[in-house]
Structure 1
Amino acid sequence: MLSVEGPLLSVDVGARETTTERIDPVLDSFIGGRGVATKLAHDRLPFDADPFGPANALYFTTGPMQTSTMSFTGRMNCTGLSPQTGGLLSSNAGGFMSRNFADTGYAAVEVTGTSDELLVVHVSDEGVEFEPVPDLAGATVPETTDYVESEHGLESDHVACIGPAGENRVRFASLMTSESRAFGRGGLGAVLGSKNVKAITFAGDSRREVEVPAMQMDIHREAATSDHIMKQQGTTSVTSLANEVSALPTRYFSELQFEGVDGINGDRVGEKKYKKGTCSQCAFACKLPTKDEERGVETEGPEYETVMSFGSNCGVDDIVDVMQSNELCDRYGLDTISCGNTVAAYLAHEDAFGDAELIHEIVEQIAHREGVGDTLAEGIDRFHEELGVENWTVKGLDFAAHDGRTLNGQGLSYAIANRGADHMFTTLYAWEYPLVDSSEALDPTGLEGKAPHVVKQENARALEDCGVVCRFSRSFMTPERFEGLFGADYEDLLAVGSRVVELERHFNNKRGFDRADDTLPYELPGFDAALDAYYAQRDWNADGTVPDAAVGDDPVSAD
């Protein structure tokens, strides 16, 4: 089975020490990406670690095909304890950094400890350098990447960094790369900030070339010649459909359709796109560099999730206002989904939906923890009672944009997902709109018979994250192609994904998560029976916990 190669590099930023060790059994069993990082975190992190404490770690990993010319592989994984959910969480970013990470020759990089001064950590195949950077305190993401380029000759796609939000430990701070690509959900940028690390750079000349079967060229050619609407509108191509079927969260989740959708949908975003955008090696090119000359706004995006969080959920019907919110989040290092939903909660409290100027002011206040922003920076789960608004979160993570009250299987997925209310854990919405072929579509109404579909798609998404293959390869990466590329039977590959989901759940169980956390702020018919069916399908306990014996294989020592 194809897997990542190389050692684990451990970096203690407090002691300013590094070690390397072989982790071949982990690589052979978990391929790379989220799988390798989850296994390392599960076996090396204390179950009672504080997300903001020195014992927490960030694990940077990528997949085995990131050293090839394969489309849909320009992505990278980061895993750690989330300050937003309190559980183990993996986040995924696109762009170009994955290739530069591969150039270091390491299979994984672990960052632990807490520095006594602000640092940039430089990781290369020649070693690790700890650079004190007191003058970067409070710097934005572009200011930080400009510094690294001017002082070290490394462009932004060599850099993972935080803005003021990460330094200020905003619980949904992003870890940014290439300035506009984000390890977004869960607040891993705040974890790096808690370690007093402003940025990590990756560079070298030790890339391990991987032989990938010739079918990669078929995939590349199909991606290049496809006329898929995402090439023009990115993920915003689903906006009008979501609104049409009543699955577009609006005015802090109080409605499911937005009368102003025509001002923020894929057509409007497509009009603002001014050039092609892509990730490393990818011929699909679904990214959205956009600008508005009249108002002087330029950004990459917004994606559909941001169109919801800062658009319909905030009552905003002007795409340029949403673009500006997106740019502010990228500048300060904030997850656009959680930040937009947080602002929407505040607008509900103030009865101020649609006030774009106020929205942009609140984003600034959140990033700098000023005024009400200090309260909002704690996240909806922690401030909802103080503001008197509903708690639209699962496990502390606020909801994504495909509403489970209409797409019921997606709703079940939100409740069960180890990350919380996250659409990427199963992407079951694609089968319920549907965005897949009608022969594969699922009735979005009801939960009967949905549990096996949730399990299968969780495993498939985890497999993609082990290979660090983009979600939008769905139309091109058939089971047969997975088998050919990874050199293993597809069912065996899905079993790798299943083990990853199980390790995440087991770790979070040890931190107190159980069935009571697999819940929703709304009712779905047959929900308890669907939970029972899901746990039974996975051979878990009825209380939502994983038996210890199920994960008792070959722990990786932290010694």
Structure 2
Amino acid sequence: MLHAKGDLLSIDVSDRTTTTTDVDDVLESFIGGRGVATRLAHERVPFDVDPLGPDNRLLFTTGPMQASTMSFTGRMNATAVSPLTNGLCSSNAGGFLSRNFADTGYSAVEFVGAADELLTVHVTDEGVEFVPTPDLAGATVSETLGTLEREFDVSADQTAVVGPAGENEVRFASIMTSKERAFGRGGLGAVLGAKNVKAVTFDGDSAPDVEIPATQAEVHREAATDDHIMKRQGTVSVMDLANEVEGLPSYYFSERQFEGVEGINGAAVEAKKYKKGTCSACAFACKLPTRDEERGIETEGPEFEVAMAFGSNAGVDDIVDVMKSNKLCDELGLDAISAGNTIAAYLAAEDEFGNRDLIWELVEQIARREGVGDTLAEGIDRIADDLGVDNWSVKGMDFAAHEGRVLNGQGLSYAVSNRGADHMYATFYSVEYPLVDEDEALLPDGTLGKAGRIAHQEDKMALCDSGVVCKFSRDYMTPDRFETLFGAEFETLLDVGARTVALERHFNNQRGFDRSDDRLPYDLPDFEAALDEYYGERGWTDRGTVPEAAVEY
């Protein structure tokens, strides 16, 4: 079975020491990326760890496909115990970092401890350098990147940095790479910030030799030649469909259609797109560099989730306003989905929907933990009662845009996801809109009979995150291509995903998570019976816990 190669590099920023460990057995069993990081975290992170304490470990990992020249492979993984969800959480970022990371020769790099001063850490194939950079305290992402380029001759594509939000331990702070790409969901930027690490750079010329089958060329060619709407509008291309089926969260989830949708939909974004945007080696080019010359705003995006969070959910119907919110989040190092949803909760409490100036003020206050921003920085789950609004989160993570009250299987998948209300954990929305071929689609109504398909989707997404292969490759990465590229039967590959999901769940079980956490803020038909079906499909107990005998390393 194809897998990543290279040692684990452990970096203790408390005493500025490093160690390397042979992890070939883990790589052979879990491929790379999320699978390897989850397996290592399960062994190396204390079950009772404080997410913002020195014993939490932040793991960066990539996979074997980063040795290819195939489209959909410009991504990598970060894993730690999340300060937002309090569970083990993996986050995935695109851009151009993954191959610079692979050039160091390591399959995984982990950070532990907490430095006594603000550091930049340079990781190369020749060693690790710890550089105190106190002058970067409070710097934005672009200010930090400017300093790194001037003083250390490294590009944005070699870096993972935190903005003020990460330094201030905002629970939904992101780690930014390639300037505008984010390890977003779960607040892993706060984990790096709590370690007093402002930036990490990766460089080298020691990428391991991983032989990739010629099928990679077929996938790449199809990605380059296919006339796909995402090449023009990115993920926001689905917004009109979501609104049409009454599945577009609006006004802090109180409504499911938005009368101003034409101002923030795919066509609105496409009108502001001024060039192609892509990730490393990818010809699909679905990214959205956007610009409004009249107001002097230039950013990348927004994608659908952000257009919902800062658009319909906040009562904003101007795409340029959403672009500005998106840019602020990228500059300050905030997960734009959680930032937008949390601000929407505050707008609901204050009856201020549509107040764009207040929105931008709140983004700044959250990142710097100033004024009411200090409260909002805790995230919806911790502050909903204080605001007097409904708690629109699962396991501490606020909801993505795909509406579970309409797409009932997606709703169930939010409930059982180890990561909380995140749409990418199973991407079940694609089955129910549907965005897949008719023979793969399911009707959106109801929950019974969908547990097996949800588990299958979760396993497949975990496989993609381990490969690492972009989840938007679903029309191109067929089971037979997975088999050819990874040199194993598809069911064997899905088992890697299943074991990864089970290890995440088991880790979280040790932190107190069980069936009582697999909850939604709304009712779905036959929900309890559907939970039983899901646990049965997984071989877990009816309490939603993984039996010790079922934990497979």
Name the structure 1 match of 2:264.
264
1:449 aligns with 2:446: no
Q: What is the alpha-carbon distance in structure 1 between the residues aligned to residue 380 and residue 538 of structure 2?
A: 31
Name the structure 2 match of 1:467.
467
1:436 aligns with 2:459: no
Q: What is the alpha-carbon distance in structure 1 between the residues aligned to residue 147 and residue 324 of structure 2?
A: 24
1:251-309: per-residue Cα shift (whole Å, max 9, x none)?
00000000000000000000000000000000100000000000000000000000000
Name the structure 2 match of 1:319.
319
Name the structure 2 match of 1:185.
185
The alpha carbon displacement at 1:550 in A equals 1.2
Q: What is the alpha-carbon distance in structure 2 between the residues aligned to residue 552 and residue 495 of structure 1?
A: 10
Q: Which moved more, 1:27-36 or 1:435-444?
A: 435-444
SS in 1 for 2:285: coil
Q: What is the alpha-carbon distance in structure 2 between the residues aligned to residue 431 and residue 20 of structure 1?
A: 43
Name the structure 1 match of 2:84.
84
The alpha carbon displacement at 1:210 in A equals 2.2
SS in 2 for 1:271: helix
Q: What is the alpha-carbon distance in structure 2 between the residues aligned to residue 537 and residue 26 of structure 1?
A: 25
The alpha carbon displacement at 1:15 in A equals 1.0
Name the structure 2 match of 1:497.
497
1:458-496: per-residue Cα shift (whole Å, max 9, x none)?
001001011010011000000000000000000000000
The alpha carbon displacement at 1:213 in A equals 1.2
1:159 aligns with 2:159: yes
Counterpart of 2:12, as a letter, is: D
SS in 1 for 2:310: helix
Q: What is the alpha-carbon distance in structure 2 between the residues aligned to residue 121 and residue 551 of structure 1?
A: 35
Contact 2:499–2:552 (8 Å) recurs in 1: no
State the Cα RMSD in Å. 0.6
Q: What is the alpha-carbon distance in structure 1 between the residues aligned to residue 180 and residue 194 of structure 2?
A: 22
Q: What is the alpha-carbon distance in structure 1 between the residues aligned to residue 284 and residue 319 of structure 2?
A: 24
Q: What is the alpha-carbon distance in structure 1 between the residues aligned to residue 483 and residue 383 of structure 2?
A: 47
Counterpart of 2:239, as a letter, is: T
SS in 2 for 1:424: coil
Q: What is the alpha-carbon distance in structure 1 between the residues aligned to residue 44 and residue 161 of structure 2?
A: 24
The alpha carbon displacement at 1:530 in A equals 0.3
1:275 aligns with 2:300: no
The alpha carbon displacement at 1:357 in A equals 1.0
The alpha carbon displacement at 1:349 in A equals 0.5
Q: What is the alpha-carbon distance in structure 2 between the residues aligned to residue 458 and residue 399 of structure 1?
A: 17
Q: What is the alpha-carbon distance in structure 1 between the residues aligned to residue 287 and residue 275 of structure 2?
A: 9
Name the structure 2 match of 1:69.
69
Name the structure 1 match of 2:308.
308
Q: Identity of aligned pairs, percent?
A: 70
The alpha carbon displacement at 1:551 in A equals 1.2
Name the structure 1 match of 2:227.
227
1:62-117: per-residue Cα shift (whole Å, max 9, x none)?
01010220110000100001000000000000000000000000010010000000
The alpha carbon displacement at 1:211 in A equals 1.8
1:208 aligns with 2:184: no
Q: What is the alpha-carbon distance in structure 2 between the residues aligned to residue 191 and residue 159 of structure 1?
A: 16
Contact 2:4–2:210 (8 Å) recurs in 1: no
Q: What is the alpha-carbon distance in structure 2 between the residues aligned to residue 426 and residue 171 of structure 1?
A: 23
Q: What is the alpha-carbon distance in structure 1 between the residues aligned to residue 127 and residue 357 of structure 2?
A: 47
Unpaired runs of 5+ in structure 1?
554-559
1:308-359: per-residue Cα shift (whole Å, max 9, x none)?
0000000000000000000000000000100000000000001010111111
1:419 aligns with 2:434: no
Contact 2:67–2:212 (8 Å) recurs in 1: no
Name the structure 2 match of 1:105.
105
Q: What is the alpha-carbon distance in structure 2 between the residues aligned to residue 288 and residue 437 of structure 1?
A: 26
Contact 2:253–2:313 (8 Å) recurs in 1: yes
Name the structure 2 match of 1:286.
286
Q: Which moved more, 1:268-277 or 1:543-552?
A: 543-552
Contact 1:410–1:429 (8 Å) recurs in 2: yes
SS in 2 for 1:211: coil
Name the structure 2 match of 1:557.
none
Contact 1:249–1:308 (8 Å) recurs in 2: yes
Contact 1:120–1:200 (8 Å) recurs in 2: yes
Q: What is the alpha-carbon distance in structure 2 between the residues aligned to residue 366 and residue 436 of structure 1?
A: 38
Name the structure 2 match of 1:535.
535
Contact 1:4–1:107 (8 Å) recurs in 2: yes
Counterpart of 1:397, as a letter, is: M
TM-score w.r.t. length of structure 1: 0.98
Counterpart of 1:80, as a letter, is: A
How do residues 338-353 of structure 1 correspond to structure 2 at under 5 angstroms? Answer: 338-353=338-353
SS in 2 for 1:109: strand
Counterpart of 1:387, as a letter, is: L
Contact 1:172–1:339 (8 Å) recurs in 2: yes
Q: What is the alpha-carbon distance in structure 2 between the residues aligned to residue 468 and residue 420 of structure 1?
A: 21
Moved over 2 A (4+): none
Contact 2:166–2:190 (8 Å) recurs in 1: yes
The alpha carbon displacement at 1:552 in A equals 5.3
Counterpart of 1:271, as a letter, is: A
| Residue correspondences, number | 553
Contact 2:68–2:216 (8 Å) recurs in 1: no
SS in 1 for 2:311: helix
Q: What is the alpha-carbon distance in structure 2 between the residues aligned to residue 514 and residue 22 of structure 1?
A: 34
Q: What is the alpha-carbon distance in structure 2 between the residues aligned to residue 109 and residue 208 of structure 1?
A: 15
Contact 1:68–1:209 (8 Å) recurs in 2: no
Contact 1:61–1:107 (8 Å) recurs in 2: yes
Q: What is the alpha-carbon distance in structure 2 between the residues aligned to residue 241 and residue 438 of structure 1?
A: 16
Q: Which moved more, 1:526-535 or 1:143-152?
A: 143-152
The alpha carbon displacement at 1:58 in A equals 0.3
Q: What is the alpha-carbon distance in structure 2 between the residues aligned to residue 547 and residue 210 of structure 1?
A: 36
The alpha carbon displacement at 1:544 in A equals 0.2
Contact 2:159–2:201 (8 Å) recurs in 1: yes
Name the structure 2 match of 1:49.
49
Counterpart of 2:157, as a letter, is: D
Counterpart of 2:133, as a letter, is: V
Q: What is the alpha-carbon distance in structure 2 between the residues aligned to residue 71 and residue 80 of structure 1?
A: 27
Unpaired runs of 5+ in structure 2?
none
Counterpart of 1:62, as a letter, is: T
Name the structure 2 match of 1:477.
477
Q: What is the alpha-carbon distance in structure 1 between the residues aligned to residue 210 and residue 451 of structure 2?
A: 37
Q: What is the alpha-carbon distance in structure 1 between the residues aligned to residue 339 and residue 527 of structure 2?
A: 29
Name the structure 1 match of 2:24.
24
How do residues 515-534 of structure 1 correspond to structure 2 at under 5 angstroms? Answer: 515-534=515-534
Q: What is the alpha-carbon distance in structure 2 between the residues aligned to residue 552 and residue 362 of structure 1?
A: 45
Q: What is the alpha-carbon distance in structure 1 between the residues aligned to residue 183 and residue 552 of structure 2?
A: 30
How do residues 347-426 of structure 1 correspond to structure 2 at under 5 angstroms? Answer: 347-426=347-426
SS in 2 for 1:90: strand
The alpha carbon displacement at 1:209 in A equals 3.0
Q: What is the alpha-carbon distance in structure 1 between the residues aligned to residue 455 and residue 65 of structure 2?
A: 26
Contact 2:338–2:398 (8 Å) recurs in 1: yes
Counterpart of 1:96, as a letter, is: F
